[in-house]
Amino acid sequence: MNDKKDSRIYSGATPSEIEEDLLPLLDFEAKKLTLKELSKIINQRLIPHLMNYNNPHFISMYNLLPDNGGKFGAEISLEYNQGVTAWEVSPGGVVLEELCCQALCRLFNLSSEADATFMYCGTYSNQSALYLALHWTAEKKYGFDFGKHGLKGFPDLNRLVAVTSTDAHLSLKHAIRVLGLGEESIITVPVDKNHHMDIEALKETLTRLKDEKDIFCVIATAGTTSTGSIDPVLPIATLCNKLNIWCHVDGAYGLSYYLVPEKKPLFNGIELVDSITWDPHKTLGVVIPNSLLFLKRKDDFRRHSIFGDYFNREEDLEPNPGLKSPPTTRPLSALPLVTSIRYTGIDGLRKRLNDNLITIQTVYNELKKDDEIEVCHKPELGVLCIRIIPKNIPKSHLDQLQRFIFEEIKHEGKFSISTTKIDNKAVIRLVVLNEAVNVKSILETIQHIKRIATHYSI
Ligand SMILES: Cc1ncc(COP(=O)(O)O)c(C=O)c1O
């Protein structure tokens, strides 16, 4: 049993096999179960099918197990089940969240005017940032209250666009859909050969659209999903400031690496942008959900505020974090983040993050020497995309080959890699986050990938 547990990353079962295992758990009309009985069912029928993020061969996604500090805080949050919306539902939780947001602004060297709020995930943080950008634009450029009048206040909706790079995360599409503008309202600019937003292309786009469109937001990504590249924040922010356009940085994955001194210069300009998304649940091993939205000017949060009669009243003197983000019931996310950082210590955290970077850089150097592998980019953070290019496989089959490898691995339950597209070509994506992953375990995965490639038939 243990052997199986150690070597497998999950059971490798098919969706219908998992369904068969889980169905008894879902018979809500059946007699009630004791915790012991529930535990037995869950241990036998669910746990084997869960992904083990602590496996040295889990190198696919931005997920990792919580560290002991994060777990400790999460257990207390669970036990007290605090809703951190208003002072009267959790005085201690409210003050902890406010202090934590201020301490994080200092940690990222944001100005004393900056502030943050906890969110459920990066998708919602990005969504809120775009909402605030649109609201701000309505007020500053059109002189109306977007909260009150909504899209109806704009004279011509066809003019409203947000600009980002082709490598930005799909959550921006969600955001623009929810705003009621539709995906056509996102304009993408190309990336350069290292997958950073091409600043010249951005300048050209902003100039070209100056009279034709109203750009309400430019979104840079600090740590793209596919390659971990960090867009040049300083020139993007400077350009936006000059043109009076809201600048958002999606640092859901990447912002943590600001804490690594060698990487900090890549984030130059972060203090100039209007909003930043950061997901401690991705890189710090803090229990999901744990995401934040930073704003350069705390006063901008007022555009999220809806006052109530029964709570979050305008006249309340105490802090009410629920006025800074939309959910009415909000978890005590600050506690696991605080306990995780304090338990690991800032030096420990820096080391953990830096170890990811050393591992991926070493793997990159190794794979560059391999003529059956194409490395698709120079890694900036902990992500590396490669293509397996065996000599006997024609170029026209290489996309299918990468997909074949991915599908085979997905169903074995022993390794975990991801796949994406770079420059419209299918690639295999490797992500290093978890401490159990090392150069050896990645090279073992590569060997396995190569073995699978030999089974591909044209
Ligand atoms: C760059 C980036 N932004 C946003 C998100 C969405 O974050 P979440 O999964 O927390 O919604 C992701 C997810 O991978 C991401 O990589």
- Together in a domain, 124 and 233: yes
Mutational test site, ligand 1, from 119, 167, 171, 281, max ligand atoms within 8 Å of CB: 171
Percent share of the chain, pLDDT over 90: 97
Residue 113: per-residue pLDDT? 98
Q: 249 alpha carbon to ligand 1 midpoint, in Å? A: 12
Going by C-alpha positions, the residue among 69, 78, 20 that lies closest to residue 48 is 20
- Together in a domain, 75 and 175: yes
Mutational test site, ligand 1, from 121, 169, 178, 287, max ligand atoms within 8 Å of CB: 169
The pLDDT mean for the chain works out to 96
- Together in a domain, 230 and 298: yes
- Together in a domain, 201 and 243: yes
Indicate which CATH number applies to the domain containing 433.
Answer: 3.90.1150.170
Q: 279 alpha carbon to ligand 1 midpoint, in Å? A: 8
Residue 5: per-residue pLDDT? 46
* Number of residues written out for the chain: 458
Tally the domains of the chain: 3
Average of pLDDT values for 118-138? 98
Q: Rounded to whole angstroms, how far apart are CA atoms 293 and 146? A: 20
- Together in a domain, 304 and 350: no
- Together in a domain, 32 and 159: no
Query: What band does 196 get if pLDDT is binned at 50, 70 and 90?
Result: very high
> Looking at ligand 1, which residue's alpha carbon is closest to its atom 8?
122
Query: What band does 4 get if pLDDT is binned at 50, 70 and 90?
Result: very low
Average of pLDDT values for 416-440? 96
Residue 8: per-residue pLDDT? 86
Q: Is 227 in the pocket of ligand 1 (CB under 6 A)?
A: no
- Domain around 22: 2-50
Residue 319: per-residue pLDDT? 94
Is pLDDT of 151 > 70?
yes
Going by C-alpha positions, the residue among 284, 292, 283, 279 that lies closest to residue 340 is 284
Residue 182 lies in a domain: yes
Contacts with 192 (C-beta within 8 Å, 6 or more apart), sequence order: 198
> Looking at ligand 1, which residue's alpha carbon is closest to its atom 4?
122
Residue 55 lies in a domain: no
Residue 226: per-residue pLDDT? 97
- Together in a domain, 198 and 80: yes
Q: 230 alpha carbon to ligand 1 midpoint, in Å? A: 14
Q: 251 alpha carbon to ligand 1 midpoint, in Å? A: 9
Q: Rounded to whole angstroms, how far apart are CA atoms 101 and 104? A: 5
Map tokens 């098919």 to a residue. Answer: 14
Q: 171 alpha carbon to ligand 1 midpoint, in Å? A: 7
Phi, psi of 402 (to 5 degrees): -65, -40
- Together in a domain, 160 and 194: yes
**254 CA: nearest ligand 1 atom:** 1
Residue 244: per-residue pLDDT? 97
Mutational test site, ligand 1, from 231, 253, 333, max ligand atoms within 8 Å of CB: 253
pTM above 0.95, yes or no: yes
Query: What band does 6 get if pLDDT is binned at 50, 70 and 90?
Result: low
- What tens digit of pLDDT does each residue of 360-379 get? 999 999 999 999 999 999 99
Q: Is 290 in the pocket of ligand 1 (CB under 6 A)?
A: no
- Together in a domain, 232 and 313: yes
- Together in a domain, 139 and 7: no
Residue 288 lies in a domain: yes
Average of pLDDT values for 393-407? 97
Contacts with 356 (C-beta within 8 Å, 6 or more apart), sequence order: 381, 382, 432, 433
Percent share of the chain, pLDDT over 70: 99
Residue 58 lies in a domain: no
- Together in a domain, 415 and 425: yes
Average of pLDDT values for 213-235? 98
**61 CA: nearest ligand 1 atom:** 14
- What tens digit of pLDDT does each residue of 253-311 get? 999 999 999 999 999 999 999 999 999 999 998 999 999 999 999 999 999 999 999 99
Average of pLDDT values for 54-66? 95
Is pLDDT of 330 > 80?
yes
Query: What band does 3 get if pLDDT is binned at 50, 70 and 90?
Result: very low
Mutational test site, ligand 1, from 123, 170, 418, max ligand atoms within 8 Å of CB: 123
Crossing angle of helices 398-412 and 439-453, rounded to 10°: 120
Q: Is 121 in the pocket of ligand 1 (CB under 6 A)?
A: yes
- Together in a domain, 224 and 371: no
Residue 371 lies in a domain: yes
Q: Is the dihedral of CA 102, 218, 251, 229 positive or negative?
A: negative
Residue 2: per-residue pLDDT? 38
